């Protein structure tokens, strides 16, 4: 989002964005890293602090606004996108950040998330995905894996999980990325990109819930395995990964395939990452790469430009003012046909 | 603008006949949904307005857009009463029914006065159409209509003949018959064709052949009535004794839209309207969407919840956030309204009530959402509630709604209803300069040393300060969790919670000091007071007036503010032996009055038929009590 960035002589530190409220997440919660990264990231910009607004729904991650020394609104379950949309429509100067989770954003608020993205409302959405309901103490969520045993699924969840990025892609979000709580540098880079993007930015953050779903992403992002199971997307570069940087992805028909750069993959046409692909099928293809068959991509899946909802709304208002003149109350009230009683 | 000076009715052109003066007339147009009855009714109303009569209208149409042609569910009707004196209802029963097909006749017979005139389109009373309308035998030939004056006119045939030389399709010819019927009515009541001719010319400007066809049909109807001597007499209704001033015809939803735009202008704010289409509230969205040059932003949301959420977002941003819906949508908005209660943000919620529960009767009227407005949210959740009493009153109450929401930082429910939303009446236009001022002061500086406390209240109004995001130094967080007094930080402290609940309740209760007292019309003390709210105003007004003319002593009062009540309400009610509360529900206001004003002997008159009260229903009930 770029409209909120006024060039002013402001230099902030992380502390400027820390509120006076005690943070009350569980010790070891991945949200701490996300909060610190957000605070550090905002401090890099020259946007006046009063122009930031953090809006959230309900859930562990939705406590976020209380801890940011900015404007904030902790709203109701699943509805944060609607409140953010209304705010954005009446104020083009703010930098609006929406914090949601896999339950808040993809279950109870799924409808709003979809419509906010397809309208390309100029806000930044951080979807903190821990594949579990934390605040209600451990029921399965729409992103939980099938078979997940929780309090509400003692014999294993029979729900097929939803993939957050695919919802964003199908909704034609103009900026779509994935990052993780355990990599603050990458997370900071992605948040920076989102902040600079004009239009809706959607970031899925893999987050570890230490109490109810500990190490759920460990098979992918665990220290020992991550080099071979994660793939960092870089614009214009081939999709190469592996501890030895010896594996890559190529396209076989419509399917991604792993090739060994030191073996049969040498010299082959590798898949080159392109964020601005005009159609969404490439991003969709990336979103289907999942553990254990494939390495899991992190980074910017898609970044395209398209007029924002709020700009178009404001443009219409301005155009009508130009065409019809600023509204005159007498004209409004008198209408086109009156009569006089004497 | 038309000046009405002419006191004498226009002279008929060809065959001057006996012309009878009458005081008030009720006309009902009825046909298939596709027959253009609402349009004919609107045109008749416009001309009636210009001719200086007072009037009140009632469109009555099905929820189905096009039920099968010629069937009972597809019947659409429009009723208008016009008069030489002040009136507020569309008439209990019609003096004249214009019925375009057998189905319309069947559905509408109960709405016609015994001895009244029924004009039918004879052309379509054939076996197929009679069967579609479940007529066992042809009502034009048997005893069915023996209590009425029946006039059979082959409307379709006559329209066809009149248009036979015009270059338009058969289906288009068929669609002109409503103008033929309108022409008949214009003659019968000595109305001028001028307004409708102008309207047709504008409406069909791009299709000159349709301009010609519709005007030809209109004039053919008028001339037919004049020449064919089908009517025993021609009538006229003198210009009414409305107060001097400039008037326009207005529907309730239109008046509400204009009122809220005006209020936003007076407050120097953007009006943001988040809404999801729903009958009968959608017209407010349609109206507002046209007025973008007045700094109106309309957002057609993905659902009712998004609609209210977006309005709350706009309010948080320091502008006027408004949402509008009807009953089922109110159920969905409850949680978000409570967020605005807790966050203490201004929020305008329009509920154009319709027949419930559930989907109920979408196009029919009811007043059964009052207790929902009062109590339909979790926790102690006080909000202000206002209810307009007539279509034009929607304008004034819209301004009041906005004033209260902004001044007290609270949701305000604007409880309209289908009857007044779609009904129309003459509106005496306000003096623009004399409209009330709405002053909004946003927080601009810290209010607690170097800090900003978002819940440090104004001691007088108990409203909290409204700081717009983007204001330096006032960064703060609000939300749905319980709040500490002053700082607004999250707090589960027991005493604090009790205090905050009490403060919010007192804030709303305190609005009573800022609204007009309840006025009594008629004796201030006595046997019966009729207490109304919302659209039942019209029937109560007329019933009481009628009884007064009969020499009976009865008083009436009308509540436009339902939460809080005007502060003298209890005092007023206690002056009467009985307080009669007619309402289109099973006793919502009755319950509130009994609860709030013990000792008041209140009794109800209840109706839930999707139709407004008829004057006689209220009058009879009053007589029972006298």
Secondary structure (H, E, C), A241-289: ECCCCCEEEEEECCEEEEEECCCCCCCCCCCECCCCCCCCHHHHHHHCC
Q: Among residues B182, B217, B237, which one ends one of the domains?
A: B237
A307: closest CA of chain B, how far (Å): 17
Q: Is the pLDDT at B473 greater than 50, yes or no?
A: yes
Q: Is residue B397 domain-resident?
A: yes
From B587, B591, B583, B556, select the one nearest B572 (Cα to Cα). Answer: B556
Dist CA B244 CA A68 (whole Å): 60
CATH of the domain at B53: 3.40.920.10
Mean pLDDT of the residues in chain B: 94
Tens of pLDDT, residues A257-290: 999 999 887 788 999 999 998 889 999 999 999 9
Are the beta carbons of B309 and A79 separated by less than 8 Å?
Answer: yes
Q: Do B525 and B491 reside in the same domain of the chain? A: no
Q: CA-CA distances (angstroms) from residue B193 to B55, B186, B234, B276, B495? A: 18, 7, 15, 39, 71
CATH of the domain at B571: 3.40.50.920
What pLDDT score does A263 carry? 87
Q: Do B184 and B278 reside in the same domain of the chain? A: no
State the fold for domain A14-216+307-315: Rossmann fold (3.40.50)
Closest partner residue to A83 among B243, B262, B309, by Cβ? B309
User: How many Cα atoms are found within 13 Å in the side-chain-facing hemisphere of A51?
Assistant: 22
Q: Which tokens in the block code for residue B544?
A: 């009481």
What pLDDT score does B288 carry? 98
DSSP line for B58-126 = EEE--SSSSPSTTSGGGEEEEEEEEESS---SS-SSEEEEEESSHHHHHHHGGGEEEEEEEEEEGGG-S
Q: B278 and B331 in contact (C-beta within 8 Å)?
A: no
**Model's pTM, two decimal places?**
0.94
Q: A199 and A311 in contact (C-beta within 8 Å)?
A: no
Q: Do B168 and B186 reside in the same domain of the chain? A: yes
Are the beta carbons of B339 and A317 separated by less than 8 Å?
Answer: no
Are the beta carbons of B479 and A313 separated by less than 8 Å?
Answer: no
Domain that holds residue B126: 19-237
ipTM: 0.96
Q: Among residues B514, B532, B556, which one ends one of the domains?
A: B514
Are the beta carbons of A329 and B262 separated by less than 8 Å?
Answer: yes
Ramachandran area for residue B465 (φ above 0: left; ψ -120 to 50: alpha; else beta): beta
Closest partner residue to A91 among B317, B480, B490, by Cβ? B317
Tens of pLDDT, residues A124-162: 999 999 999 999 999 999 999 999 999 999 999 999 999
Q: Do B421 and B530 reside in the same domain of the chain? A: no
Domains of chain A, residue spans: 14-216+307-315
Q: Among residues B434, B467, B486, which one ends one of the domains?
A: B434
Interface test with A, best of B46, B317, B476 (most A CBs within 10 A): B317
Contact list in B for residue A53 (CB cut-off 8 A) is: 469
Q: How confident is the model at residue B5 (pLDDT cuts 50, 70, 90)?
A: very low
Q: CA-CA distances (angstroms) from residue A18 to A14, A68, A129, B477? A: 7, 5, 23, 12
**Eight-state DSSP code of residue B455:** B
Q: Is residue B5 domain-resident?
A: no
Contact list in B for residue A93 (CB cut-off 8 A) is: 470
DSSP-based three-state secondary structure for B41: helix
What pLDDT score does B16 carry? 55
Q: B562 and B415 in contact (C-beta within 8 Å)?
A: yes
Q: Do B330 and B417 reside in the same domain of the chain? A: yes
Q: Which tokens in the block code for residue A184?
A: 């603050």
Tens of pLDDT, residues A27-40: 999 999 999 999 99
Q: How confident is the model at residue B148 (pLDDT cuts 50, 70, 90)?
A: very high
Q: What is the percent of chain B with per-residue pLDDT over 70, rounded to a whole number?
A: 97
Q: Is residue B423 domain-resident?
A: yes
Backbone angles phi, psi at A55, to 5 degrees: -120, 135
Q: Which residue of A has its CA nearest to B310?
A: A86
Tokens 């900003």, located at residue: B452
Q: Is the pLDDT at B8 greater than 60, yes or no?
A: no
Q: Which tokens in the block code for residue A28?
A: 């070891």
From B581, B582, B580, select the one nearest B612 (Cα to Cα). Answer: B582
Instruction: State whether residue B446 sits within 8 Å of chain A by CB.
Output: no
Torsion of CA B565, B570, B572, B574, to 10 degrees: 150
What pLDDT score does A184 carry? 97
Question: Pairing state of beta strands B245-251 and A339-341?
Answer: antiparallel
Q: CA-CA distances (angstroms) from residue B37 to B5, B29, B48, B194? A: 31, 6, 16, 19
From A129, A132, A100, A94, select the one nearest A116 (Cα to Cα). Answer: A100
What pLDDT score does B12 carry? 45
Are the beta carbons of A86 and B305 separated by less than 8 Å?
Answer: no
Number of domains in chain B: 4
Interface test with A, best of B306, B311, B337, B343 (most A CBs within 10 A): B306
Are the beta carbons of A337 and B270 separated by less than 8 Å?
Answer: no
Q: What is the percent of chain A with per-residue pLDDT over 90, rounded to a whole number?
A: 92
Mean pLDDT of the residues in chain A: 95
Dist CA A82 CA A87 (whole Å): 9
> Averaged over B66-95, what is the pLDDT?
93
Q: Which residue of B has its CA nearest to A340?
A: B246
Segment 230-269 of chain B within 8 Å of chain A by CB: 239, 242-249, 258, 261-262, 265
Q: Is the pLDDT at B10 greater than 70, yes or no?
A: no
Q: Is residue B147 domain-resident?
A: yes
Which residues share a beta bridge with B58? Answer: B79
Are the beta carbons of A320 and B247 separated by less than 8 Å?
Answer: no
Sheet holding B424-428, edge to edge: B2-4, A339-341, B245-251, B424-428
CATH of the domain at B281: 3.40.50.970
B449-452 long-range contacts, CB within 8 A, separation 24+: B452/B476
Which residues share a beta bridge with A176? Answer: A202, A302
Interface test with B, best of A16, A60, A90 (most B CBs within 10 A): A90
Q: Do B91 and B148 reside in the same domain of the chain? A: yes
Instruction: State whether residue B309 sits within 8 Å of chain A by CB.
Output: yes
């Amino acid at each position: 989002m770029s409209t909120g960035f006024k060039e002013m002589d402001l230099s902030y530190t992380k502390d400027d964005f820390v509120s006076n409220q005690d943070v009350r997440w569980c010790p070891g919660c991945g949200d701490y890293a996300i909060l610190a990264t957000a605070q550090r990231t905002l401090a890099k910009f020259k946007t006046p602090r009063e122009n930031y607004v953090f809006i959230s729904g309900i859930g562990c991650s939705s406590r976020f606004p209380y801890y940011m020394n900015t404007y904030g609104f902790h709203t109701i379950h699943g509805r944060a996108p609607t409140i953010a949309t209304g705010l954005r429509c009446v104020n083009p100067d703010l930098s609006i950040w929406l914090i949601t989770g896999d339950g808040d954003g993809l279950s109870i608020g799924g409808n709003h998330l979809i419509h906010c993205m397809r309208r390309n409302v100029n806000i930044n959405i951080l979807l903190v995905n821990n594949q579990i309901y934390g605040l209600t103490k451990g029921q399965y969520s729409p992103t939980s894996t099938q078979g997940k045993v929780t309090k509400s699924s003692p014999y294993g969840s029979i729900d097929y999980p939803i993939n957050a990025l695919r919802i964003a892609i199908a909704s034609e979000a103009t900026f779509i990325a994935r990052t993780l709580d355990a990599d603050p540098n990458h997370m900071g880079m992605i948040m920076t990109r989102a902040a600079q993007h004009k239009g809706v930015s959607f970031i899925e953050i893999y987050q570890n819930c230490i109490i109810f779903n500990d190490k759920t992403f460990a098979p992918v992002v665990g220290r020992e395995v991550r080099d071979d199971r994660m793939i960092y997307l870089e614009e214009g570069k081939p999709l190469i990964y592996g501890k030895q940087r010896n594996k890559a992805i190529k396209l076989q028909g419509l399917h991604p395939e792993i090739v060994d750069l030191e073996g049969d993959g040498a010299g082959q046409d590798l898949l080159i990452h392109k964020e601005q692909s005009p159609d969404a099928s490439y991003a969709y293809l990336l979103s289907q790469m999942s553990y254990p068959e494939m390495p899991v991509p992190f980074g910017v899946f898609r970044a395209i430009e398209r007029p924002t909802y709020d700009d178009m709304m404001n443009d219409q208002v301005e155009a009508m003012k130009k065409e019809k003149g600023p509204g005159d109350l007498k004209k409004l009230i008198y209408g086109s046909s009156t009569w006089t009683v004497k | 603008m038309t000046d009405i000076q002419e006191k004498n009715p226009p002279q008929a052109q060809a065959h001057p006949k006996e012309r009878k003066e009458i005081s008030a007339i009720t006309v009902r147009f009825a046909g298939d949904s596709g027959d253009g009855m609402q349009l004919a009714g609107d045109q008749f109303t416009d001309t009636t307005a210009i001719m200086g009569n007072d009037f009140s209208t009632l469109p009555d149409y099905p929820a189905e857009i096009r039920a099968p042609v010629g069937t009972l569910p597809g019947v659409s009707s429009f009723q208008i009463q016009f008069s030489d004196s002040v009136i507020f209802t569309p008439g209990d029963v019609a003096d004249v029914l214009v019925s375009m097909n057998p189905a319309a006749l069947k559905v509408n017979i109960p709405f016609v006065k015994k001895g009244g005139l029924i004009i039918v389109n004879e052309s379509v009373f054939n076996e197929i159409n009679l069967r579609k309308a479940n007529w066992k035998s042809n009502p034009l030939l048997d005893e069915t209509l023996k209590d009425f004056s029946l006039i059979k006119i082959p409307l379709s045939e006559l329209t066809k003949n009149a248009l036979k030389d015009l270059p338009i399709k058969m289906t288009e010819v068929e669609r002109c018959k409503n103008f033929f019927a309108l022409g008949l009515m214009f003659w019968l009541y000595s109305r001028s064709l001028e307004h409708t001719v102008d309207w047709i010319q504008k409406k069909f400007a791009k299709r000159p052949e349709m301009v010609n066809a519709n005007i030809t049909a209109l004039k053919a109807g008028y001339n037919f009535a004049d020449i064919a001597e089908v009517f025993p007499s021609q009538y006229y209704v003198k210009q009414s004794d409305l107060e001097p001033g400039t008037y326009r015809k207005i529907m309730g939803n239109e008046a509400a839209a204009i009122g809220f735009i005006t209020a936003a202008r007076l407050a120097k704010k953007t009006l943001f309207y988040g809404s999801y289409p729903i009958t009968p509230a959608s017209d407010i969205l349609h109206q507002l969407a046209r007025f973008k040059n007045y700094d109106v932003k309309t957002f057609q949301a993905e659902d009712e919840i998004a609609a209210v959420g977006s309005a709350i977002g706009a309010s948080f941003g320091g502008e006027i956030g408004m949402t509008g819906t009807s009953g089922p949508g109110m159920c969905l908005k409850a949680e978000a309204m409570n967020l605005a209660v807790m966050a203490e943000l201004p929020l305008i919620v329009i509920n154009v009530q319709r027949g419930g529960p559930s989907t109920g009767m979408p196009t029919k009227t009811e007043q059964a959402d009052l207790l929902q407005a009062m109590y339909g949210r979790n926790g102690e959740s006080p909000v202000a509630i206002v209810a307009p009493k007539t279509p034009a009153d929607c304008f004034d109450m819209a301004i009041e709604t906005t004033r209260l929401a902004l001044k007290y930082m609270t949701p305000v429910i604007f409880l309209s209803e289908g009857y007044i939303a779609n009904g129309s009446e003459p509106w005496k236009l306000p003096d623009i300069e004399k409209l009330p001022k709405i002053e909004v002061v946003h927080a601009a500086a810290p209010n607690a040393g170097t800090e900003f406390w978002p819940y440090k209240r104004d001691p007088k109004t108990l409203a909290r300060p409204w700081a717009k995001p983007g204001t330096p130094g006032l960064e703060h967080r609000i939300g749905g969790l319980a709040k500490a007094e002053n700082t607004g930080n999250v707090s589960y402290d027991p005493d604090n919670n009790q205090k905050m609940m009490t403060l919010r309740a007192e804030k709303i209760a305190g609005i009573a000091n800022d609204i007009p007292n309840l006025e009594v019309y008629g004796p201030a003390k006595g046997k019966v007071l009729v207490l109304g709210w919302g659209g039942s105003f019209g029937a109560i007004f007329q019933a009481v007036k009628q009884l007064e003319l009969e020499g009976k002593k009865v008083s009436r009062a009308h509540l436009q503010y339902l939460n809080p009540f005007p502060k003298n309400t209890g005092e007023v009610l206690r002056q009467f032996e009985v307080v009669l509360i007619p309402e289109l529900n099973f006793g919502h206001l009755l319950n509130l009055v009994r609860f709030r004003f013990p000792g008041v002997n209140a009794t109800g008159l209840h109706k839930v038929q999707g139709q407004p009260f008829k004057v006689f229903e209220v009058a009879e009930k009053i007589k029972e009590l006298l």
